[in-house]
Structure 1
Amino acid sequence: MKTFTPFFLKGAVLFGLILSCTAGLYSCKTNDVIQDTMVLGPPVETNHAETDYAPAFVGQTRAPGVTTRSNYTANVISTQLTSPWGITSLPDGRLLITQKAGTLRIATATGEVSEPITGLPTVDAAGQGGLLGICLDPNFASNRRLYWVFTDPQAGGNLTAVARGVLAANERQVENATVIYRATPVYAGTLHYGGRILFDRTGHLLVSTGERSDLATRAQAQDVGSALGKIVRITTEGQAAADNPTFTQGGARAELYTIGHRNPQGLAIHPETGDLWQGEHGPRGGDELNLIKPGANYGWPTITYGIEYSGAVIGDAIQQLPGMEQPVYYWDPVVSPSGMTFYNHSHHAAWRHNLFIGSLSGQHIVRLVIRDGKVVGEERLLAGENQRFRDVTQGADGALYAITDQGRLYRIY
């Protein structure tokens, strides 16, 4: 067991106030009232940015650093997982976890892990592909239905697909597995599948898809006739939701909810406002946190705060254009944001409605304090663990549970 006793960074102490700070983060003024007290310090990122691009507004990157003021414990409760990718909480407090190669596992809050659960469609697990995100039907307690995203092998390549099935009563297999949606076109690649899935408050599924990385497919993020680089909104039968936004460009697919995404691996709904938030991998620099608006264009690859891995600029090196949404927040250098969740429990009052994001290349869990649609504080949790944090969820017990590419399951409480 590790107990984390926060240290306090030098900075302003807020008693019922948010600080709105300049880019240097040391000249601040009060602008709103909040319930909890924060200690603000310098940004948690200290490395040089990959670019010299200017943010569109103050606080869009390198927000003030914050520190959790209460003690918390972080335990590795299991090391038995094999390349886990998605995690969600079952009604009885156990955890359902996807493994990249194509099986599920169930884990208890004390770290007991089931044998692999089989019966899912074959996945293409090469590269970044495999069995990806998962969510439960809102009526899971009575129908035991699951929905998941996976890399579907096809003639000529593969694609991001959505399937559903029923967890058998003996919890050894998934029954009646059926593919309900395929994000075409097929492409012969191994990168950028997106892969998160959740239910919105109307009972429809929101699914993130990647643009498949290569220059040959990158532009399809802007193509409304393609399902690549999008968030799609579908029914539980896999059809386009009837009240989806309408895109003005000809030939637009009915399932599209937003366009212009690169590799979105995080989706979460704010427990109070119902707003949809999304995390997205940028290239070299320019990882994004977006507040999702139906029908909006999030810009990739036309606008970006990143550059090519080679160091070359992307397109015309533009960061802002009319008709394209700005990220609420971006990271440069990247942290590689993956699965994420809002905390919504009374155990850690200061964490309530904060956003927690698994960080892959950054090897930590990002904690973001968000007020009025803006990031006002950032903290790095478990930064000394040297783990690629793939996903994080809140358990029924109020703890956070996180999985890592290396096969660990953490309980943070």
Structure 2
Amino acid sequence: MQRRRSFLATAAAAVATPAIARAQDVIRSAKASYRLVTLSRDLEQPWSIAFLPDGRLLITERPGRLRLFARGRLERAPVGGLPKVYARVQGGLLDVCLHPRFTENRTLYLSYAGEGEGGAATVVARAELAESGGLRGVRPIFEALPRASGGLHFGSRIAFDRAGLMYVTTGERFQMQRAQKLGDLGGKVVRLRDDGSVPPDNPYLGRDGARPEIFTYGHRNPQGIAMHPDTGRMWLIEHGPRGGDELNLLTAGANYGWPLATHGIDYNGATISDHKSLPGMKDPVRAWVPSISPCGLAFYTGDRFPGWKGSLFTGALSNHALFRIELQGERYVGEERLLVDRLPFIRDVRQGPDGLLYLVTYSDDGGLYRLEPA
């Protein structure tokens, strides 16, 4: 218990409100009153955040930088040793995720758009964060082949389950039919061991014409994945086209329909499919029409906001809001829109070791923010 208290004290000091932090007025919602605190406004297109065990934050910037927020300030120099990224349109440096045993091995993972013959693809690299602060031993362990031209729909979230297996989301690169092809890694959720090898119980292992990495398919551009803290099951959130954003509960081997079944239409108003649901395909737990452009996904398990415990949070890029989603078991119950028009383009949301919520906003003057109980 003493060790736990010591860790929390260290973590709290690492993310303590700095002199530059600014707290707005009290905001009242259905189940909590809170303040929005600005921690930094010096980030360029931040995409993801991850907490180190001592409470410091790693923050990715899409143009290809990994930043460190420590002792209440954003460190000026980026973390060194990053791989080269394809930083065009939506491509670039995207997610960052720690190994479940980071305290033992100091291993982390980066997802990014990587370029090669034929174009770009979602890549996951494994690396060690040296005590000196830079990355070493950077090694790509997965690539969502085939590569394609253009800079759209990379997916790119990473999450681990209780067994230590890694889930990676991939977009279909704005080529919708790729999501239905089992010999193609676009538009999928893949499941890997921590070294990039394939677990022996993956659903398509040994099937002719299918990639063994695939866990689920029929996805468009999934940009949020999180493990339920009680059931251990993986939840996914993904962008639809014009309408048809989805919250999905993942089942091994399942087809989630895109583009054969969708609640959305094409950007020019054309029909993509006449079907919202089809036999043999999994329906979303929740579909949004019109789109909210969901990004980032986190279950809240802390005690600082008792009324939010068990809620699922996602940024809503096109709604300029943070969505709090209530579930009852595996059933959608309702949702609440927080921070409406207070922050633009919330790209990621995470719970910190202090039980508070942290957000980053995706813009050239992007910010790091914290929600505190009032």
Same fold, judged at TM 0.5 (above): yes
Partner of 2:346: 389
Q: Does 1:174 align with 2:171?
A: no
Q: Distance in 2 between matches of 1:396 and 1:195?
A: 24
Determine the structure 2 residue equivalent to 1:399. 356
Describe how 1:3-14 pairs up with structure 2 within 5 A: 3-6=25-28
Q: Deviations over 1:23-46 (max 9, x none)?
A: xxxxxxxxxxxxxxxxxxxxxxxx
Among candidates 85, 107, 130, match of residue 145 of structure 1: 107
Listed as ranges, the matches of 1:80-119 within 5 Å are: 80-108=42-70, 110-119=72-81
Q: Which runs of 5+ in 2 are unaligned?
A: 1-22
Pair 1:295-2:253 in alignment: yes
Name the SS of the counterpart of 2:84 in structure 1: coil
Report the Cα offset of residue 245 of structure 1. Answer: 1.3
Q: What is the percent sequence identity of the aligned residues?
A: 46
Deviation at 1:109, TM superposition (A): 6.8
Q: Which of 348, 365, 368 in structure 2 is aligned with 1:409? A: 368
Distance 2:26 2:173 in 1: 39
Larger Rg: 1
Q: CA separation in 2, counterparts of 1:180 and 1:249?
A: 22
Kept in 2: contact 1:3–1:71 (CA 8 A): no
Indicate conservation of the 8 Å contact 2:343/2:361, yes or no. no
Whether 2:213 is the aligned partner of 1:259: answer: no
Runs (5+) with no aligned partner, structure 1: 7-66
Question: Residue 10 of structure 2 corresponds to which residue in structure 1?
Answer: none
Choose which of 250, 261, 265 in structure 2 pairs with 1:307. Answer: 265
Say if 1:205 and 1:235, in contact at 8 Å, map to a contact too.
Answer: yes
1:318 corresponds to 2:272 = no
Moved more, 348-357 or 243-252: 243-252
**Aligned counterparts of 1:358 and 1:345: Cα–Cα separation in 2:** 19
Q: Is the 8 A contact 1:391 1:404 kept in 2?
A: yes
CA shift for structure 1 position 382: 1.1
Match of 1:188 among 146, 149, 153: 149
Contact 2:204 2:213 (8 Å CA) reproduced: no
TM-score w.r.t. length of structure 2: 0.90
Query: Using a 3 Å threshold, how does the CA distance of structure 1 residues 133 and 347 change in structure 2: closer, same or farther?
Result: same
Q: 1:222 aligned to 166, 180, 199, which one?
A: 180
Structure 1 position 178, deviation (Å): 0.5
Q: Is the 8 A contact 2:67 2:74 kept in 1?
A: no
- Write the distance in 1 (CA, Å) between the matches of 2:239 and 2:114: 21
Answer with 375-384 or 290-299: which moved more: 375-384
Distance 1:196 1:312 in 2: 29
| 1:375 to partner: Cα distance | 1.8
- Superposed, 1:44-83 pairs within 5 Å as 67-83=29-45
Alpha carbons 2:206, 2:212 under 8 Å: kept: no
Distance in 2, matches of 1:111 and 1:338, equals 25
Cα contact 1:338–1:359 (8 A) shared by 2: yes
Partner of residue 29, structure 1: none
The 2-side partners of 1:169 and 1:109 are apart by: 16
CA distance in 2: counterparts of 1:411 and 1:240, whole angstroms? 37
What root-mean-square deviation, in Å, do the aligned CA atoms of Structure 1 and Structure 2 show? 1.4
The match for 1:356 among 313, 319, 340 is: 313
Residue 247 (structure 1) shift: 7.5
Give the secondary structure class of the aligned counterpart of 2:122. Answer: strand
Describe the superposition over 1:240-278 as per-residue Cα deviations: whole angstroms up to 9, x where unpaired: 111111379741111100000000000011111111100
The whole-number CA distance in structure 2 between the counterparts of 1:4 and 1:176 is 46
> 2: CA distance between counterparts of 1:247 and 1:326?
24
How many residues are matched? 348
Rounded to whole Å, the distance in 1 between the matches of 2:334 and 2:257 is: 25
Q: In 2, distance between residues paired with 1:411 and 1:309?
A: 34
Q: Deviations over 1:138-179 (max 9, x none)?
A: 1111221111111011122110011011112121x2111000
Report SS of the residue matched to 1:220: helix
